[in-house]
Structure 1
Amino acid sequence: MMDLFKKLQGLFGGDNSAEAIEKQMQKMQEQMQAAFGGEETKRGWQPDEGVYYAKGEYDNAVEYNNELICLSNYGLDQMAKMNDAMDAKDYNRAEWVRLEWIEDLKGLREQAAALGAYDGDDRMLKALYQVFDGWEALMKDGYKTLIKMRLDGLRGTPEEQAQLKKNNTILVRLIDNLNDASEEFLDAHGVGDYDYDDDDED
């Protein structure tokens, strides 16, 4: 964690003290706890909302699938933060998001490992690890390059647009592959088009 503090202090100079960074990291950890099942958060399937919330465990193949998908949804939140920073042309904030994303992957991998394979079927787990590996490579290379280009005033140039397109293509491919693995997994366990509402009728 301190390595991240040092990187951010070096990047932002005197504008962000170690105390300010620590507060931001604490807020981030609270958000992560809420996303992945704190004591007072919603857990599992919520029929009134039609939403599944991560609970860190599973009772069947559908819940297992949903637990892993919940972990992958972290990328949606981070990409929204990245896009907000980029749209605001706040490239220091975009760099913060990039570093935060890399830092959080360790915890995401640990949560996935704790869930493990489902009855020996590790196709979903492997697909999720590929997403994590892809994110890490993209944040260390593709987005690092894109942020630097924009800091250098190259936004809108053919080179910058090519890098943006490359990044987006990778992101879409990673999630498409995970979705394909999810469909295969559910089909293999006989729950291809599972509907929670069917449970409510029993």
Structure 2
Amino acid sequence: MERCLWPGNNPVMVEYHDKEWCVPSEDDQYIFEMLTLEGAQAGLSWNTVLSKRNSYKEAFHHFDIEYCSKLSDNDLLYIKENYSIIKHLKKIDSVRNNANAIIEIQREYGSFANFLWKYVNHQPIINHWETDQYIPAETKLSKQISKDLKKEGFKFVGPVIIYSFMQAIGMVDDHITSCSYHTKNRKN
């Protein structure tokens, strides 16, 4: 079995690559989780964030959007001090902030997924990179989505974060073409 090079031999990274990365999702709770984790990654490695994923799930009640929208400042400080998550207070505060922004989008669009997937006409972009080195860090589309999310009040949604987020929720398939998990190679 071939796979992209970036997960290396790290079991957590390999599992994420094989089971989640570039797999389309329209589940708002999962999308919120990925937005939170990608925002937490800013300036850090994805491995660092994934190693703390279970703590994030526990701290934020499995990314229950309604629950996270109602967290108080004291709740956020408690989470910072008592859970093994990234200790950056602005990143932690962005969870509440972004939960509230998602609720507003859900009111207008029916779901956060509807809002996001309209950018790709509800079909993932399937790229055909031969090696990992060609995969971009950001694109014109990630810049546009970033800009639009910022207008909606989201935090930690720069174009690089958003491109990784697009990969995380399967809006983009950036598996290299020889990878067994590329859309054209999947058996399911």
With normalisation by structure 1, the TM-score equals 0.25
TM-score (norm 2): 0.27
Q: Whose Rg is larger?
A: 1
Which protein has the bigger helix share? 1
